[in-house]
Chain A
Amino acid sequence: MKIISRRYILLFFSLLLAVSALAFGKEDHVADMRRIFPFIPFDPANKKIEDFYYLVNSYIDYTNFPSISGGQVGTPLCIKNDPKLGNMKFANHRVWFHWGFNKNPRTFQPLVNMVEYNIKYGIIPEADREYFWYVLNKEIRKRNRLLMDKWAKISGYNGLVGLMASQRAQSNAFVTLLYSIHILGDHQTSETSVIIDKRSLYGDIYNAIDNLAGKFISNQQKAKSLKNKLRLVQSNPKAFLDKMEKEFTPFLYSLEGVGYNYKKKFSSLGYKLKSC
């Protein structure tokens, strides 16, 4: 009886949080990505990029990733359909994949708490704790590989395997930025307690900017200047995204040196770029 009542409470909170989470829909996330990234929105030449924006949303929100349409938010299918883990209860879809793109979910306290809740109330035995993390990490690796591989192909490479270290860093930087734009969108809603904190998120964004600039000193100075501008507005996620809209594309176009001239690179691949 006690367990049943707890389950109802959990369900109520789940619904409440789900409703509040929907306050920032997938089109809003994609609109942010469109305004910040240098590609002309809705241009047929940029279809792969547009699809990728939706794929990033799917990565973060959908149970049936890599589907980009008709996806449902909630517990990933790998957990939901697992005979040992299918009964586990989780409060909010944002507890999944909102821990930061390059982060270890086991250090993401909201999810750790929920797993421990399920163990504490006997929904899964303690012996299955490691099994849960094993299944989840497998899913994360699968999702990361798919996403990174897709962006590597968009960037003109054969895929993720065989990329040089700096090319991997660049690919990771673009994906991290798109991921972070989505999460910053979520930070503009009322429910932010089960997503990565802004401080860690900004850290990821600044690292991504450094990786895009690479080892050229002139590029590093430009990256430093952009980061300084962003730091001034980082208390407000919306202002941060607005600043990114204004500054990110000019920053990207200003980078130079072999392998870092993104304007030339994406133009040569046939994408239509914004003028600035």
Chain B
Amino acid sequence: MKCSSNIKAFVLTLVIIFSNASYTFAQSDKDMVIAQMNYCINSLTNIINNKSIVVLDHETDQLINNLTMEHVSNLYEIADFRGSLLETVGNLQITEEERNILKRVNDMKKDGMLWQSLSNALDPTLLLFSGSTKSSKLQIGFMLLLTAARTSVEYKSDQHEQNIGELQSLWELRKKDMNDYIQLRKKALDLEYNLFHKYNLKEQDRLTEKNAIWFSDICKEPDARKRLRLLLDNRNTFAFLTDYYYHVGMAYIDLNNYIQAKPYLQEYISRYNKTPIFRYDEKSGCVALAMLAYDFTLNAIEKQKLIDVALKNLPNNGAALLQCVVTYLSDIKNAPKAYNLLRLGIDNPNMDNKDAMVMFSANMLEDIKQYKGIYTKLSEAVYSTPGLSLNSIIAYAMKDNYQNSFWMNYANLLNISDYFHHPWYGLWIWGNPVLECEFDIAITNKYGLNINDIKIYREHFDGEKLTIKQNQLYYKNGLLIDDIMNDVACFKANPNLMYLFLSPLIEGKVYRIKDNLDYGLIESGEFRGLSEYTLTEDDLTDIVTYCKDKYIENNNITALCSDEMDDCQEHTDTLLLTPPIIENNSDDILSNAFIKGKILCDFKGDSLVYTPYILSTEPRDYIQVVLLGPSTTILTFSLDSKDNKNAYLYSVENGGKIIFQDLKSVSSKIHAQLEKLEKEKQEASQPSFLQKISLWFSSVFNSIGNWFANLWNSISNLWS
């Protein structure tokens, strides 16, 4: 009897446990429903509110590919709504062509200053040999990487984007789709309302349309102080939203106040883990990165855990991956793991910011080469990655130069022609070659090119003084915006229309006709995007005539022109020369031949972004092409000795290291010059034939002079 009562008690306990479990499950189910619906409403509001093709792309990608169904699959109302959502958003998501434009524009608008600062902050010596406490330079690097990683997750009012006509044009074509998104949001709000009644949920946990818009507006506020103020002011309205804690935490991070940020970030993680609605959560990844950047109390195991969280949740975010790589190098001191992660990132076809990764690899290549297996795989990954920029591939190939591979495969990506001319003095008399102010540059378009990241200088050394003149660079066959607008009336009437047929070479200024335009489709009015403009048949004829007339085949080459910079300052100053180290050089005489110290320099231009080198006192002319980026490369072009017309790549410099195309010839020239100088010295110490004659004559005249002097002395003595 006692036994049976025990069994009863046990069964009762089990019932209580299971009933509690089922209650818990039901509760978490409800929480998931609320979280999912609030997310959908917020996401649709972001699309409608931000008026940005970038936001549209990111949000639709999250809705289609990231939102999980795991916990709500048995809730048919939600499943039904998800079906509508996927159907509508799937039909409206941006096309592959639009995505390529977005990628190109993103590459173009990359903040040069940010990467430059990063380059300073991520100095290899600093990363590999810094102590346990982070230097302020490295801390800046961490902060910059965190900011870059967050850019694709959060939407601040982006002034850059407003000014990019091509993005505006893409958005204009999508404007009418907003009706469908508004309908979807309405459906989501109705459904949420019904669910709240059905499950007797708390009304204050429900997101209304007005509040969704208000929250979206606050989160995109670029001024962190104002954003924080508004978030804290509206705590009661938004505190039920998991995202609220993320945004408050990150606003504090923006204000460099990690102590205040930490509890909010932890609250976000805790709330999110209760209702994990995504396959991966980008915001959790950003929180992990923020902690890695700002929390100095973490031990190696905690850092490793945060790295795992960041990588899992930001699988395609290049800046996040770089921050993890840097943490491995500087904090955890596990270089092989860092470099392997870097290689994984470069090999990942969906990863963004690959140029920064390749340039970072170039900077660290000396150290990476120690780990032969990783180095080989990394090089294979870099050389097989499509879509890299010219600047990054040249920087890496130069630093690598495995078995002279740079000179064999990458030295001819950029060619300069017609930059010298020979003055003709009549008859058969030609003068010495003279450097032209204006010349052409042809660049293979296999790699990406941002004209703003290339600086050109003409460098003349006369044996004593250095003269550097900066050139400007422009597209040879580019069409100027004013001319385009004047030539095609319907472009003037519909400024965004031209982006269907022209792609920008320099945003807002210079354009070219797109390749592979289907003129038949344009003429019939069926060309994609035309239907969204109010056009007549004559407009179409104008467009086709103009495009056919102005189209220049690219022949896999981007043709650039360079000439003297207008409206720039000219000044003279002393310049401190820092000689580079010659790679793979055992010739000490050559290494020591660089002129060190200060030299007088005339500079005409707006900024000098490199330090020149002087290897020989002989007068010479160079063209210096500086490829900017986290790893700046300087290409030095000299006059081709064969045809005296074209330039050839004489040397390449990156990170204080230099390689010459023909090291032997450079070395022998230096030796020959040194020998010549030595000879001149010796000759200067021994009198020449003429000197001997003059000495003889002077000695003769001296002796004659002496004789006359003696005679005069004798006479004067007699007199006296």
How many B residues touch A, CB cutoff 8 Å? 32
Chain B residues near A168 (CB, 8 Å)?
A: 91
A275 interface residue, CB < 8 Å from B?
Answer: no
Q: Which residues from chain B contact A258 at a C-beta distance below 8 Å?
A: 525, 530-531, 533-537, 539-540
Interface centre among B80, B529, B536 (most CB of A within 10 A): B80
Q: Which of B80, B526, B535, B539 contacts A137 (CB 8 A)?
A: B80
Tell whether A156 pairs with B525 under 8 Å between CB atoms, given A165-B532, A257-B534: no
Q: Is B211 an interface residue (CB 8 A)?
A: no
Alpha-carbon distance A84/B133, docked complex (angstroms): 65
Cβ B80 vs Cβ A133 within 8 A:
yes
Would you call B83 and A257 a contact (CB within 8 A)? no
Q: Which of A173-216 contact B (CB under 8 A)?
A: 215-216
Q: What B residues does A131 contact at CB under 8 A?
A: 76
Interface string of A14-53 (1 = CB under 8 A from B): 0000000000000000000000000000000000000000
Of A131, A138, A160, A259, the most chain B CB neighbours within 10 A belong to A259
Query: A141 on the interface (CB 8 Å rule)?
Result: yes
B87 within 8 A of A: yes
- The answer, among B83, B175, B530, for a CB contact under 8 Å with A141, is B83
Q: Which residues of B contact A137 (CB under 8 A)?
A: 80, 83-84
- Neighbouring B residues of A239 by C-beta, 8 Å: none
Which one of A145, A164, A216, A268 contacts B173 once the chains associate, using CB atoms below 8 Å? A164
Closest residue to A217 on the B side, CB-wise? B534
A228 located at the interface, meaning its Cβ lies under 8 Å from any Cβ of chain B in the complex = no
- Whether A268 and B76, one on each chain, are in contact in the complex, defined by CB atoms closer than 8 angstroms, is no
Q: Mark B69-102, 1 if CB is under 8 A from A, else 0.
A: 0000001110110011001001100010000000
Determine how close the nearest CB of chain A comes to the CB of B245; give it in whole angstroms.
32
Chain B residues in 8 Å Cβ range of A133? 76, 80
Can you name the residue of chain A whose Cβ is closest to the Cβ of B533?
A: A258
B198-227 contact mask (Cβ, 8 Å, vs A): 1 or 0: 000000000000000000000000000000
Contacts of B681 in A (CB 8 A): none
Given A160-B91, A165-B177 in contact, is the A259-B530 Cβ separation under 8 Å?
A: yes
Select from chain B the residue with minimum beta-carbon distance to A168. B91
* Interface flags, A120-148, vs B, CB<8A=1, else 0: 00000000001101100110010001000
From known contacts A162-B95, A261-B525, infer whether A134 and B176 are also in contact, taking CB-CB under 8 Å.
no
Report whether B95 and A164 are in contact in the complex, using a CB–CB cutoff of 8 Å: no
Does chain A have a CB within 8 A of B524? yes
Chain B residue numbers with a CB within 8 Å of A246 are none
Tell me whether A156 and B534 are in contact in the complex, defined as CB-CB below 8 angstroms, given that A161-B90, A166-B176 are known contacts.
no
The yes or no answer to B528 lying at the interface (CB within 8 A) is yes
**Alpha-carbon distance between A258 and B43 when the two chains are bound, in angstroms:** 34
Using Cβ atoms and an 8 Å threshold, which residues of chain B touch A138? 80, 83
| Bound: A20/B16 CA distance, A | 59
Shortest A261–chain B CB gap in Å is 7
When distances are taken between beta carbons in the complex, the residues of chain B under 8 Å from A145 are 87
Q: How far is the CA of A141 from the CA of B85 in the complex (A)?
A: 11
Given contacts A137-B84, A141-B87, A258-B539, contact A164 B529 (CB under 8 A): yes
Nearest A residue to B98, CB-CB: A162
Judge if A231 is at the interface, Cβ distance under 8 Å. Answer: no
User: A259 contacts which chain B residues (CB < 8 A)?
Assistant: 525-526, 530-531
Asked whether, in the complex, the Cβ of A167 is within 8 Å of the Cβ of B531, the reply is yes
Chain A nearest Cβ from B411, distance in angstroms = 42
CB distance from B125 to the nearest CB of A (A): 51
Q: Which residue of B lies closest to A166 (CB)?
A: B531
* Whole-angstrom distance between the Cβ of B82 and the nearest chain A Cβ: 10
Dominant secondary structure at the A interface? helix
Kindly provide the distance from the CB of A128 to the nearest chain B CB, expressed in whole angstroms. Answer: 9
Residue of A nearest to B528 (CB): A164
CA distance A133 to B535 in the complex (A): 44
CA distance A220 to B125 in the complex (A): 71
Cα-based distance from A161 to B539 in the complex (angstroms): 27
B524 touches A164 (CB 8 A): no
Q: How large is the interface on A (under 10, 10 to 19, 20 to 34, 35 or more residues)?
A: 20 to 34
Chain B residues with Cβ below 8 Å from A261 are 525, 537
B717 to chain A, nearest CB (A): 122
A244, B530: Cα distance in complex, Å: 29
Whether A7 is near chain B, meaning CB under 8 Å from some CB there, is no
Supposing A164-B173, A258-B540 touch, asked if A156 and B80 sit within 8 A by C-beta, the answer is: no
User: A165 and B176 in contact (CB under 8 A), knowing A258-B539, A265-B526?
Assistant: yes
Cα distance A164–B531 in the bound complex, in angstroms: 8
For B531, list chain A residues within 8 Å (CB). Answer: 164, 166-167, 258-259
Q: A164-B173, A258-B539 are in contact. Are A215 and B534 (CB under 8 A)?
A: yes
Q: Is A103 an interface residue (CB 8 A)?
A: no
CB-based contact A257/B532 at 8 Å: no
Nearest-neighbor residue (CB-CB) of A131 within chain B? B76
Known: A141-B84, A165-B176. A134 touches B535 (CB 8 A): no
Is A229 an interface residue when CB atoms closer than 8 A count as contact? no
Q: Which residues of A contact B525 (CB under 8 A)?
A: 258-259, 261, 265
Contact B79 A156 (CB under 8 A): no
Task: Identify which of residues 388-410 in chain B touch chain A, using a CB-to-CB cut-off of 8 Å.
Answer: none
> Which of B175, B534, B536, B537 has the largest number of chain A CB atoms within 10 A?
B534
Q: Residues 149-173 of chain A: 1 if any B CB is under 8 Å from the residue's CB, otherwise 0?
A: 0000000100011111111100000
Residue picked from B83, B176, B531, most chain A C-beta under 10 Å: B531
B524 touching A268 by the CB < 8 A rule? yes
Interface centre among A137, A165, A261 (most CB of B within 10 A): A165
Q: Is A264 positioned at the interface, with any CB of B under 8 Å from its CB? A: yes
Which residues of B495-536 are within 8 A (CB) of A?
524-526, 528-536
Q: Is A257's CB under 8 angstroms from B526's CB?
A: no
Partner of B532, one of A141, A160, A161, A164: A164
Interface residues of A in 238-273 (CB under 8 A from B): 257-259, 261, 264-265, 268
| Interchain CA distance A138-B528 in the complex, whole Å | 30
A156 to B518, CA, bound (A): 14
Q: Are B91 and A161 in contact (CB under 8 A)?
A: yes
Min CB–CB distance A97 → chain B (angstroms): 17
List of B residues within 8 angstroms of A161 by Cβ:
90-91
Point out the residue from A134, A215, A257 that lies within 8 Å of B80, measured CB to CB. A134
Q: Which residues of B contact A166 (CB under 8 A)?
A: 176, 531-532
| Min distance, Cβ B662 to any Cβ of chain A, angstroms | 54
Q: Check B535 against A257 for contact (C-beta < 8 Å).
A: yes
Known contacts A137-B83, A164-B531, A258-B536; 19 additional CB pairs below 8 A are: A133-B76, A134-B76, A134-B79, A134-B83, A137-B84, A138-B80, A138-B83, A141-B83, A141-B84, A141-B87, A156-B526, A161-B90, A161-B91, A164-B173, A164-B176, A165-B532, A215-B534, A261-B525, A265-B526
Seen from chain A, the residues whose Cβ lies within 8 Å of a Cβ on chain B are 130-131, 133-134, 137-138, 141, 145, 156, 160-168, 215-216, 257-259, 261, 264-265, 268
List of 9 A-B pairs having minimum Cβ-Cβ separation, nearest first: A165-B176, A259-B531, A134-B76, A258-B525, A130-B76, A258-B535, A134-B80, A166-B531, A131-B76
| 13 sampled A-B residue pairs with Cβ under 8 A | A133-B76, A134-B80, A145-B87, A156-B526, A164-B532, A165-B175, A166-B531, A258-B525, A258-B537, A258-B539, A261-B525, A264-B524, A265-B526
